[in-house]
Amino acid sequence: MTAPFADRLADLVEARSSQIVLGLDPDPARLWPDAVAQAPSEGSPAHRAAAAVRAHCAALIDAAGPACVAVKPQLACFERLGAEGWAALAATVAYARAQGLLVIADAKRGDISVSAAAYAQALVGSTPTPFGDVAGLGADAFTANPLLGIDALEPIVGGARAAGAGVFVLVRTSNPGAADVEDLVIADGDGAGETVWERLAAIVADLGAPPSTTSGLSDIGAVVGATAPEHVARMRELMPHAPFLLPGIGAQGGRVEDLAPAFAPGRAGGLVSASRSIASAHESGGAPPAAAARAEAERLREAAWSLI
Amino acid sequence: MTAPFADRLADLVEARSSQIVLGLDPDPARLWPDAVAQAPSEGSPAHRAAAAVRAHCAALIDAAGPACVAVKPQLACFERLGAEGWAALAATVAYARAQGLLVIADAKRGDISVSAAAYAQALVGSTPTPFGDVAGLGADAFTANPLLGIDALEPIVGGARAAGAGVFVLVRTSNPGAADVEDLVIADGDGAGETVWERLAAIVADLGAPPSTTSGLSDIGAVVGATAPEHVARMRELMPHAPFLLPGIGAQGGRVEDLAPAFAPGRAGGLVSASRSIASAHESGGAPPAAAARAEAERLREAAWSLI
């Protein structure tokens, strides 16, 4: 029986002394040169590009992974290479796990009833078929979109829990457009005067309560953009037990130093996600890609770890 | 150069005298028996199940497709079979197009900046790589989730337009949980007193205006649950040019007869989506699966077509 995600996360944060999540957003046109050179010289563009993507992700994990607790593959970047891309995704997930890292599938999925359940099967569970069970991607957690409401999140949460996996629900994202919907102020009901994101935070807290884990963290976390640090304390108030996944550091302008309230329930309460700032660190620094990525991941690790 | 999605849709609705969208939500445990029997006797469970899913979808398209204008594969149902499932999805998309049907990928994707653009590449566009361009799924349109705001929708819309494809943005879904977020009343700004879904409808109308199509329909449509017909007239007021994708007919309780306002801009303004009520029609009627599916699709086609 797999231990609950929250406990595995808390243990691994301590064991690796890191709260850093390595984003894997491979753009086939911007892969590390050695990865492109390793691709097979024969085969379809999809086959060759997927091989290069896989090599790039493995090299990035080799370089920056030791400073991280998890990887976060962006599913869009793999899906655009079709079935070959999905196979590269599965191989990358397996490689990261073999290196002792957790895997958070950045899928931002949301749908209703059986479709929501199917996404949980695809990412963290398995699917019964007349030919035997088919294992899903094998991620430890995935990101989910809550627009469709509680009854759409419940099959996702149920599927994740059955697999000992976690879910990070979008609460307030790191882009300027978060103001268009997530920041709207609600007029009606008990929560009058709250924003949509505060309502979403309350839904996340309800879905995750009470945390039945030894760490005290919930298996239902929240995606909280690091570009709006003024909200982090309020998020923590609304979701005292949720692990926060904090994207937007580096390339999007967020700073680790602004995120201290996230870590109130312990170091695993705030996971700092960075993608381009690590993978593309060599573009500004002049060092080889792997060395630059390792240095940037270690810099972030130290910055986050020193906050508690 | 591909004609804009809206014009292709309007022409095909007239040519096929149908507004019906055939949902493809294959559950490997509930496939038509002949499809299971056709699966190879060797290979991994994923390989065999994906072959059965592909055969099931082809049989469903053969049976019900002639009464329909489009198919709507639910991506979750394919992703749960991994790379084999994605290959079955791609084969199903190609098969539907070869039968003269449009394909609306029910993906409900939403993400920011380059990730949003990557989803458009994956579903309707292509991806430049050092090894040549990699074609995406080849769908004609896909569904998108607007929670992340306008700047997250823009790369999706831009990618779709560049491919002559359409986007159906979730506005109000067909599940009871739509009340939790989509129905919240907004307190602030110009739209005070509106619901979140009305704000989403305004965003959809802005993204799609003015429609530069000969049909007068926009290439940016809306997903409008058929289970809340009291909202359809208001939706049409807010989004005069958007094609509506109307799920929730049949198994979820919606009735075609309640949807007349959707068709105000013409028959292609309202696409009636049905999945389980067609694929599982034999479970209540006693006819063989294909005959029951054909009859139910034709019944829906006639019911919708008679509304204008």
- The rounded percent of chain A whose pLDDT value lies above 90 is 86
Residue B72 designated active-site: no
Reported as a pLDDT band with limits 50, 70 and 90, residue A253 is confident
Mean pLDDT, residues A268-278 = 95
* Nearest CA-CA distance, residue A102 and chain B, Å: 19
CA distance B169 to chain A (A): 12
**DSSP for residue A151:** H
Report the chain B residue with the minimal C-alpha distance to residue A133.
B45
Name the residue among B38, B75, B43 with its Cα closest to residue B56: B38
Interface test mutation site (partner A, options B79, B109, B194, max chain A beta carbons within 10 A): B79
B261 compared with B123, residue with greater pLDDT? B123
Which range, of A70-74, B67-71, B176-180, B185-189, averages the lowest pLDDT? B185-189
CB A69 within 8 Å of CB A12:
yes
Give B227's pLDDT tier (boundaries 50, 70, 90): confident
**B80, amino acid identity:** R
Residue B1 has pLDDT above 90, yes or no: no
Q: How many CA atoms lie within 13 A of A123 on its CB side?
A: 36
Question: A305 near A267, Cβ under 8 Å?
Answer: yes
Contacts (Cβ under 8 Å, ≥6 apart) of B138:
B90, B93, B94, B97, B103, B124
Which tokens is A212 given? 């039945």
Contact call for A187 and B182, based on CB within 8 A: no
> Are B181 and A146 an interchain contact pair (Cβ–Cβ within 8 Å)?
yes
Q: How far apart are the first and last CA of chain A?
A: 32
Question: What pLDDT band is residue A1 in, cutting at 50, 70 and 90?
Answer: low
Q: Does residue A213 have a pLDDT over 90?
A: no
Name the active-site residue from A80, A97, A108, A276: A108
Check if the beta carbon of residue B92 is closer than 8 Å to that of residue B54: yes
- Interval B157-203: pLDDT, tens: 999 999 999 999 999 998 999 999 999 999 977 778 999 999 999 99
- Quote the pLDDT of residue B251: 67
Number of alpha helices (DSSP H) and beta strands (DSSP E) in chain B: 12, 10
Is-contact B156 B120, C-beta < 8 A? yes
The 10s digit of each residue's pLDDT in B195-210 is 999 999 999 999 999 8
Over 70: is that where the pLDDT of A251 sits? Answer: no
Q: How far is B14 from chain A (nearest CA, A)?
A: 31
A63 to each of A100, A274, A291, B19, B66, how far by Cα in Å?
14, 14, 7, 53, 54
Give how far the C-alpha of residue B38 lies from the chain's centroid of Cα atoms, to the nearest Å.
28
Give chain A positions within 8 Å (CB) of B110.
Answer: 108, 110, 145
Nearest Cβ partner of A181 from B45, B90, B147? B147
Output the pTM of the full model.
0.97
Nearest to B184 among A129, A131, A199 (CB): A199
Residue B21 scores a pLDDT above 80: yes
Of the two residues B165 and B214, the one the predictor is more confident about is B165
Task: Return the residue of B nearest to A121 by Cα.
Answer: B80
Q: What is the DSSP string of B204-252?
A: HHHHHPSP-SSSS--SEEEEE-TT-GGGHHHHHHH-TTPPEEE--BSTT
In chain B, the residue whose alpha carbon lies closest to the alpha carbon of A177 is B149
Residue B37 has pLDDT above 70, yes or no: yes
Run of H or E residues at B58? helix B45-64
C-alpha dist (Å) from residue B121 to A77, B11, B137, B189: 9, 25, 9, 35
Mean pLDDT on B22-36: 98
Identify the residue among A72, A78, A133, A181 best suited for mutation to test binding to B, counting B beta carbons within 10 A and taking the highest.
Answer: A181
Q: Which residues contact A17 (CB under 8 A, 6 or more apart)?
A: A301, A305
A104: β partners: A141
Q: In the block, which residue shows the tokens 């979808």?
A: B57
Residues 6+ apart with CB under 8 A from B24: B57, B60, B61, B71, B72, B73, B74, B77, B92, B275
pLDDT bucket at A87, cuts 50 / 70 / 90: very high
Torsion from C-alpha of A2, A6, A10, A16, nearest 10 degrees: 60
Q: Residue A230 above 90 pLDDT?
A: no
Facing residue for B184 by CB, picked from A76, A110, A188: A188
**Chain A residues inside the 8 Å CB shell of B180:** 149-151, 199, 203
Residue A241 banded pLDDT, cuts 50, 70, 90 = very high
Percent of residues, chain B, with pLDDT higher than 90: 86
| Tens digits of residue pLDDT in A189-203 | 777 899 999 999 999
Strands annotated E in chain B: 20-24, 70-73, 102-109, 126-127, 134-135, 141-144, 166-172, 220-224, 244-246, 270-274
For A146, half-sphere exposure in the C-beta direction (CA atoms, 13 angstrom radius) is: 29
Q: Cα A223 vs. chain centroid, distance in angstroms? A: 8
Q: Which pLDDT score, from 0 to 100, does residue B302 have? A: 95
Q: Do A76 and B45 touch (CB under 8 A)?
A: no
Among the partner residues A29, A136, A145, nearest to B147 by beta-carbon distance: A145
CB-CB neighbours of A51 under 10 Å: 22
Catalytic residue, candidates B3, B12, B62, B108 = B108
Say what the pLDDT of residue B281 is.
96
pLDDT greater than 90 at residue B91? yes
Would you say A103 and A140 are in contact if contact means Cβ atoms under 8 Å apart? yes
Q: Are B129 and B135 in contact (CB under 8 A)?
A: no
pLDDT attached to residue A285: 78
Neighbours of A10 (CB within 10 A): 23
CB-based burial label for A193 (10 Å; 0-12, 13-18, 19+): exposed
Query: Is the CB of B182 less than 8 angstroms away from the CB of A39?
Result: no
- Using CA coordinates, name the residue in chain A closest to B195: A186
Test A178 with B87 for CB contact under 8 angstroms.
no
Contacts of B277 (CB under 8 A, 6+ apart): B249, B250, B251, B296, B300
DSSP reduced 3-state for A18: coil
Identify the pLDDT of residue B256: 82
